[in-house]
Structure 1
Amino acid sequence: MRNNADTAAAVRQAFGGSTTEHADGLPGASWTAANAPMSLSISELQPVLEYPELAADGLVAGTYGVECVHTGRASTGEYYLRLRLYDVTGAAHVYSRCADWPSPPRDGQTHTVGFRWVHDRYENLVPLARPFPSTQTLPERSPLELLPGDRLPEPENLFRLLTLVESLRTPGYRALVEEVFRDRELAYLFATLPASRRCHHTGEGGLLAHSLDVAEGVRRATGHLAIGRLRREALILVGLLHDIGKALLNTREGYRLPSSRGEHAALIDYALATPMARLKARDLDAFTALWQVIDGYKRKDRYAAPLAALVESMDSVSAQTNLIQQRSTSHPGYRLPGCHRETIWHAPGR
């Protein structure tokens, strides 16, 4: 595979007009209903960009997050873009003609992109990205799938998150999670922030890791309880989103919110207000089950929603387990310093 300088030169040469478009069954042919394109993730796209012959049996497209890395100008005066395409599986850099875009792509936007290949003067195939025709559609991708996996501290946790959401059998609950994370700033913060500054899960990505620990713990603990699917999945959702207020407080508008950092739990209503309204219109039973758990968790009401205490318990278990992992090596005794000046008893090596 050529380096970036060679590829850029090839693209400039291609824009100079001495190219032939690759068609007739190879990538770059016309998109028609009878010749539907393959929708690829970034990890699936990368080998195709390096070896175009892999796509010889079909056309190539996909929906990705887009960033403009560089703008250049060919010898003919035509402008081109170097784009970074990304999703949860990674990132790829491609070139595109400015003239192919009705308006320049803005960083962080989501675009459906198709690819054509052109021959450079050395008869090498160079991939060029272009907006996908609006007359055709590809399968819709979840906002969670479009997070920048290559820039997250623990990308494997994104796949844990996707697996957890896909395991929910209630369509309204899956839609609610996707709507919450359609806010790109909020989703990125939720996946990259620490869970706390000095207590547990203090590294980058700690908030997502802790939230998954709680949600997965609730799922395992309720697996054999006869509580009904809606209530069980409502508990899992609250376990996942119980600290969403921490991400909200770090957004650009976070200073306007009516809570302090120590009162982040109260913001779960604020974060879910619009998704909950849509859930209520779509599935009243699912809305009621989720509202009861949220209300019981916030008010610590053990009568109206006794199982909400399970979320609180799993929260403590996840925090203390992480603390023991972090501090047992530097404090070999039986007593470890915990959060809020508390002490944890721990049997070393057992």
Structure 2
Amino acid sequence: MSSHIKEAQSTLVTSTQPCTSDATPSQIGAFLIKHSDAFMNLQKVPSPSSSMEHTSGHYFIEEIIQGRHKNGEESIALVLTNFITKKIAIIDSKKIREIERATQLEPLYFRLRKIDKNTYKVVKIKKTTEQVPFPPEKLSADVLKQFGIYDKRSSQLIKLINKINHPELEQFVSIVLSNPLIATPFFNCKASWSFHHSVPGGLLKHSLEVAEMVFAWPGMDTTERAIATVAALLHDIGKIRTFGPDGSTYSRLIQHDALTLEVLANGLHWLDGVDKEIALALRHLFTAASPGARYGKPAMMRIAYLIHFADRWSSETDLQDMATPTKNGFKSWKGNDFWSPQDNDQ
């Protein structure tokens, strides 16, 4: 396997009994790489609880190591993690069908965080369980740099989260965005196919504009401001599915706002254990009829309307900035007309 393929895509695997197959470890590696782009559809993340207990048999492939047994035969070691525990499974020719079976589940994100070719000597199949670090209390540059996405926007995001002054919500954002399967598309997706912020990275730009406007709004106490800011930041997070590599299929079948709670399930489950009221507030804001869900309960929190307003302001501003002047102070962009007094002087 090539060490150049460091950010191929990741998958979830389920522990199963070994199945007989004639595939070689080299073929396993080729299989993983060949299908690395085939499952960038749906992320299914096991949900850690506040008690740090976990019983799910689902794991992400964290690392793949190509090595050799003492007898010279090739082997592949998978380092599997569910964010709380970690185990090592040596994959040989008898276990290739475990990987094949994983691909036959519902479409999954397939992300190999790291592929290293080395000369590790593997003597036997080894299964271990150990604690792995839980996502940090605050999102940091170091975390984002691991995903290769740290830039000016990352710095802007971290500064905003640090300003909300709410430890539980800061850690909630850390749990969500410390997952590369969420952070990477969140930083790189468009916010729309051909409407506002319709360029790579547009989703994060739009999300930051909405969140910063909401944060600056007067008249809120610390907790309300923190909830509103986090909800504003993540209000379009479902778009990582609808505007990802297979987003055209998703967007034709499912509205992005219907995917929000699914994408955030891991973080919301953790938040339930530390502040259930705030977790409930976020769920309400993400699903209420305002700020944007087509179905849902009527908004019962005033900040829902604030988020809706900031969302619209960011969208309209981006469209107006892209519009081409026509005449009499008007601008037009893809059938959308704009006018403002200052344009009359041009």
Q: TM-score, normalised by structure 1?
A: 0.53
Cα 1:331/1:186, change in 2 over 3 Å: farther
Distance in structure 2 (CA, Å) of the matches to 1:193 and 1:310: 24
RCO comparison, higher one (Cα < 8 Å, 6+): 2
Partner of 2:74: none
| CA distances 1:253-275 after superposition (whole Å, capped 9, x unpaired) | 86896x64772122212222231
The Cα offsets for residues 215-269 of structure 1, whole Å up to 9 and x where unpaired, read as: 0000111xx30x4322221111111011111112345786896x64772122212
Q: Is the 8 A contact 1:210 1:319 kept in 2?
A: yes
* Helix, strand or coil at the partner of 2:190: coil
Question: 1:334 and 2:329 equivalent?
Answer: yes
CA shift for structure 1 position 342: 3.4
Per-residue CA shift, 1:148-169, capped at 9, x if unaligned? 49965x9211101111112222
Q: Which runs of 5+ in 2 are unaligned?
A: 1-61, 67-89, 91-110, 116-129
Q: If you compute each CA radius of gyration, which structure gives the higher value, 1 or 2?
A: 1
Aligned-partner Cα distance in 2 for 1:211–1:261? 23
What is the rounded CA distance, in whole Å, between the counterparts of 1:287 and 1:195 in structure 2? 25
TM, length-normalised to structure 2: 0.53
Q: 1:316 aligns with which of 288, 292, 312?
A: 312
The 1:220–1:270 alpha-carbon spacing in structure 2 relative to 1, beyond 3 Å, is same
Q: Structure 1 residue 286: deviation in Å? A: 2.0
Deviations 1:53-106 (A, max 9, x none): xxxxxxxxxxxxx999xx9xxxxxxxxxxxxxxxxxxxxxxxxxxxxxxx9xx9
User: How many residues matched?
Assistant: 228
Aligned Cα root-mean-square deviation (Å): 4.4
Instruction: Please give the alpha-carbon distance, in whole angstroms, between the structure 2 residues aligned to 1:263 and 1:269.
Output: 12
Give 1:258-269 correspondences, 5 Å limit.
260=252, 263-269=255-261
The answer on 1:216 being equivalent to 2:212 is: yes
Q: CA, structure 1 residues 261+182, in 2 after alignment: closer, same or farther (shift >3 Å)? A: farther
Give the Cα separation in 2 of the matches to 1:158 and 1:261: 31
Q: Distance in 1 between matches of 2:299 and 2:276?
A: 22
1:325 aligned partner = 321
Q: What is the CA distance between 1:311 and its match in structure 2?
A: 0.9
2:268 is aligned to 276
Which structure 1 residue ranges, 5 or more long, are not aligned? 1-65, 72-102, 111-133
Percent of aligned pairs sharing the same letter: 24
Deviations 1:309-341 (A, max 9, x none): 11111111111212222224x6465332356x4
- Whether 2:324 is the aligned partner of 1:343: answer no
CA distance in 1, matches of 2:152, 2:308: 25
Amino acid at match of 1:292: H
Contact 1:231 1:290 in 2 (8 A): no
SS at match of 2:238: helix
Choose from 106, 113, 117 the match for 1:108: 113
Q: Distance in 2 between matches of 1:315 and 1:303?
A: 15
- CA distance in structure 2 between the partners assigned to 1:182 and 1:212 by the alignment: 17
Inter-CA distance 260–278: structure 2 relative to 1 (3 Å threshold): farther
Residue equivalent to 1:168: 164
